[in-house]
Structure 1
Amino acid sequence: MPRTRPVSRDEAPPEIADIYDAWFGPGRDPVAEPGTATGTPGDWWTTWARAPDVLRAMRAYPYREAPVDPRLREVALMRAGYARASQFVFSQHCKAARREGVDEAKIAAVPCWTLADGVFSPVERAVLAYVDGMMLEAGRVHDRVFAALRDHLSDEEILVLTYLVNLYGMHAISSKALRMEYDNVPERIVEIPAPEDGGVQDWRDPKWSGPAASAAASP
């Protein structure tokens, strides 16, 4: 379960029930019967349904109709998800990229794009560098990166791409903060107490995840 209480179909106002019908199937309660076609729990929708005005705002711009090459868009959004360390955003946009015809070699190389010689086109490399400037350097985009971007994209395309990358960066951050979808995971950085009998402590042991880790590490 995410950190905030999701909205069941019984609680949902008509506009949310219509979204549930479209996304999960007619009449289905996605809280009682979680799961989407791509294998996620689907609690992104049921969580944000508690703030329907926000959900409506996030759905207002039809990103698939955005005036930018959809393959370029998905390369950018994959990188945004990866750079923001969101398993949910990265994984979902790998699938979206595949649907748009992005090569498997490019999907596989997004995490290490700077070393992927011969994989990405000049415009893709410019877009990836632009995404990194926004996601990893808080918008500090070097003049040479922006000049490379302008060699290939119009002002309108750059503006739309800027919006979409930041929108999905926000999705990534909120998904982790609220522990939704594939980002519903225990805290990774915890103290692993020293073993009582010597040897190497197995930090992968589930007992060191979440509240149990804090309790175990206490003197």
Structure 2
Amino acid sequence: MHLDEPRIPPLTDEQLTPAQREALAPASYANTPPLNIFRTLARAPEALSAFLAWGLYILRNNSLPPREREIVILRIGYLCRAGYEWTQHVAIARRGMSEAEIDAIKTGADAPVWSPADAALLRACDDLHARQFVAADNWAALKAHFNERQCMDVVFTAGQYTQVSMMLNTFGVQLEDGKALDPDLDARG
């Protein structure tokens, strides 16, 4: 997290226009109010609608198993110092990862907890973050464990969450009440 307060504040229910309310509707789950990220993006309702459509692919139709998808999301969120994203996705990752694995995301591929497939995912994320390209040896490692579509989905997922991290960090999206920021992701000050 880079800012103590939002540059672009999330909209309250009372501030929503009909177009914003319509764009925000798919981001409301089971009587849970929309998250701050969606309330912020609702200021640009057409962008929010497009964002949610692509996000639905990444989170629901992605060919990576959920655990592997979360490894990619968390590594990118960590590399981008996106405290909001990290906080949201740690809760999701806990459904299929141990606390030791979640903590090892910060160390990267060389942490001793990772299988060769997990390490390949992390190295691909590191390449994409640093060079926007997966080096040949890291691509070969991915291909040894994942099919072609899954390899594509690694890149799609890393790209989506790099964009999400850029928005969260730049717009200053703040954590929801009751959420705690991981001190390793506090880039404020």
Fraction of identical pairs, as percent? 26
Give the secondary structure class of the aligned counterpart of 1:60. Answer: helix
Residue of structure 2 equivalent to 1:95: 91
Can you give the 5+ residue segments of structure 1 that lack an aligned partner in the other structure? 31-35, 37-41, 189-219
Distance in structure 2 (CA, Å) of the matches to 1:164 and 1:154: 15
More helix by share: 2
Can you give the 5+ residue segments of structure 2 that lack an aligned partner in the other structure? 176-180
Letter in 2 for 1:104: E
Residues 9 and 158 of structure 1: CA distance in aligned 2, closer, same or farther (over 3 Å) = same
How far 1:158 moved relative to its partner? Answer: 1.1
Q: Matches of residues 43-122 of structure 1 in structure 2 within 5 Å?
A: 43-61=36-54, 62=56, 63-99=59-95, 101-117=96-112, 119-122=113-116
Count of residue pairs the alignment pairs up = 170
Residues 177 and 60 of structure 1: CA distance in aligned 2, closer, same or farther (over 3 Å) = same
TM-score by length of 2: 0.80
2:122 pairs with one of 104, 121, 128: 128
Distance in structure 1 (CA, Å) of the matches to 2:126 and 2:132: 8
Does the aligned pair in 2 maintain the 1:71–1:102 contact within 8 Å? yes
How far 1:161 moved relative to its partner? Answer: 1.8
Letter in 2 for 1:72: E
Root-mean-square deviation (Å): 2.3
CA deviations over 1:141-172 (Å, ceiling 9, x no partner): 22111110011111111112211111111111
Give the secondary structure class of the aligned counterpart of 1:74. Answer: helix
Higher relative contact order (CA 8 A, sep 6+): 2
Residue of structure 1 equivalent to 2:162: 169
How far 1:93 moved relative to its partner? Answer: 1.4
Does the aligned pair in 1 maintain the 2:24–2:42 contact within 8 Å? no
Residue of structure 1 equivalent to 2:22: 15
Distance in structure 2 (CA, Å) of the matches to 1:186 and 1:70: 28
How far 1:23 moved relative to its partner? Answer: 4.0
Does the aligned pair in 1 maintain the 2:77–2:161 contact within 8 Å? yes
Distance in structure 2 (CA, Å) of the matches to 1:120 and 1:168: 22
Residue of structure 2 equivalent to 1:3: 7
How far 1:186 moved relative to its partner? Answer: 7.9
Distance in structure 2 (CA, Å) of the matches to 1:94 and 1:18: 24
Distance in structure 2 (CA, Å) of the matches to 1:114 and 1:126: 7
Distance in structure 1 (CA, Å) of the matches to 2:23 and 2:30: 12
CA deviations over 1:120-152 (Å, ceiling 9, x no partner): 1111100000001111x1313221111100111
Does the aligned pair in 1 maintain the 2:24–2:48 contact within 8 Å? no
Q: Which has the larger radius of gyration?
A: 1
